[in-house]
Structure 1
Amino acid sequence: MNRPGYLLMYEKLLDYYGPQGWWPADNPFEMMIGSILVQNTSWRNVEKAFQRLKPYLEENVIYDMPVDELALLIRSSGFFNIKAKRIKSFMEWYSRYDFDVDQVRRVEGGRLREELLSIKGIGQETADVMLLYAFQHPVFVVDAYARRIFYRVGFNMPKTYDAFREKVEGEVPGSLALYNEFHALLVEHAKVHCKAKPICEGCPLFTFCDRRLDES
């Protein structure tokens, strides 16, 4: 890998899968709620929760809704009592900005990340997903799919979340569009080829992948 490996991987995935058009949501608020609902579950379960939640999916409605009522609506997402409390904590924070996404976008990225991480139940991955897809700050999202694919391809990445993220960001141009697409492409690749049990035949990364499968 004589040329920047992360970019080569990105380009091969983009050529193979094409633009993904992520995040799958109708608006930024739905995207933010979805990023909490998807914690420790599949997107399929989130979609089921959204079917019940959709009629109530307005900022003021969710803010005023009792936590037990919200929990019942999102039951299919798993850990629904915990997630309902996390959503309510998030809504308390969001209310400080009058539920105005444009106000939040004007906040400096580092400060905004610290604010998101101070919300109970919002960890590094969820905060970065919100930063990237809702608040339009360029950041590389380190999820389980990224860890799996980077390891198998042959990149020796740091164990900690921020060190992994910073290593990628230090070598990949800080473009909002690129980070947006990169994350979506890694998710798609993990679903199609680089599964827990990988399907290497036809994989767009096969020619330079080390295929380290034993610890992934």
Structure 2
Amino acid sequence: MKLTIRELYDKMLQNMGSSGWWPAESKAKIIVGAIMIQNTNWKNADKAVANFRQQTNFNPDQILQLSTEELQAIVQPAGFYKNKSRAIKAIFSWLSKYNYDYSRIYQTFGVSLRNELLRLHGVGDETADVLLTYIFDVPTFISDKYARVLFTQLGVSGLTNYQSLAKQVKLSKNFTSEEAQDFHGLIDEFGKIYFHPLTKFQESFLADDQLIL
């Protein structure tokens, strides 16, 4: 069956139920998680996230008060601890200028917000889209590895990197921010089930479908 992006989301939701993503009790925790997961797996990222909870309870001001050495020690389980520590400092320092008022920040920058995020140390395309989706509630498609594998299986060719998919997929205005968040979660949960190994995809409820972009 040929599916549009919207139909793909609806079918995944019907078959899997809501993903509940991003699993976090605060936006500060989501920001921490988005940086910690870079270039590692959730097991390692979660260790660092747990350290942040223990040391700061995800209070942004407490995070900013940490010394470089303290912050690097907290981040270390997630790897790339120097770079990720700088990213955490950069993001929360920038947010603090606006008193962590996410609505105000979005109103200030509007459509240029993504470019503003990309100026921050340690924020690349994927992290910027995660922040737009989960922090600023801007419906955005996150073209991560699981999404590229899924879309390849659904007949989309040439997906070699993040931008190769991102430039092809823009969520229509009938996606709410909550649906955009859920869509990303569903794709990643689907990938965990059906992409290890990839041959399991043929057992999935999407095996006979083709995506129309």
TM-score range, shorter chain: 0.7 to 0.9
Q: Which amino acid aligns with 2:118?
A: L
Deviations 1:54-107 (A, max 9, x none): 131211111121122111012111111211111111122112112233322433
Deviates more, 1:29-38 or 1:49-58: 49-58
Q: Which amino acid aligns with 2:152?
A: Y
Counterpart in 2 of 1:214?
A: none
Identity of aligned residues (%): 30
Q: Which amino acid aligns with 1:28?
A: K
Query: Measured at CA, do residues 206 and 155 of structure 1 come closer, stay the same or move farther in structure 2, by a change above 3 Å?
Result: same
Q: Which runs of 5+ in 1 are unaligned?
A: 211-216
Instruction: Tell me, yes or no, if structure 1 residue 88 matches structure 2 residue 89.
Output: yes
CA distance in structure 2 between the aligned counterparts of 1:96 and 1:24, rounded to whole angstroms: 26
Instruction: Tell me, yes or no, if structure 1 residue 136 matches structure 2 residue 137.
Output: yes
Counterpart in 2 of 1:213?
A: none
Counterpart in 2 of 1:106?
A: 107
Query: Measured at CA, do residues 37 and 17 of structure 1 come closer, stay the same or move farther in structure 2, by a change above 3 Å?
Result: same
Query: Measured at CA, do residues 172 and 165 of structure 1 come closer, stay the same or move farther in structure 2, by a change above 3 Å?
Result: farther
Counterpart in 2 of 1:23?
A: 22
RMSD of equivalent CA atoms: 2.3
Counterpart in 2 of 1:191?
A: 192
Query: Measured at CA, do residues 158 and 45 of structure 1 come closer, stay the same or move farther in structure 2, by a change above 3 Å?
Result: closer
In 2, are the aligned partners of 1:67 and 1:88 still within 8 Å (CA)? no
Q: Which has the higher contact order (CA 8 A, sep 6+)?
A: 2
Deviates more, 1:159-168 or 1:141-150: 159-168
In 2, are the aligned partners of 1:20 and 1:184 still within 8 Å (CA)? yes
In 1, are the aligned partners of 2:36 and 2:49 still within 8 Å (CA)? no
In 1, are the aligned partners of 2:32 and 2:49 still within 8 Å (CA)? no
CA distance in structure 2 between the aligned counterparts of 1:145 and 1:172, rounded to whole angstroms: 23
TM-score normalised by L of structure 2: 0.87
Shift of 1:118: 0.4
Query: Measured at CA, do residues 108 and 158 of structure 1 come closer, stay the same or move farther in structure 2, by a change above 3 Å?
Result: farther
Deviations 1:19-42 (A, max 9, x none): 011111111111111111110111
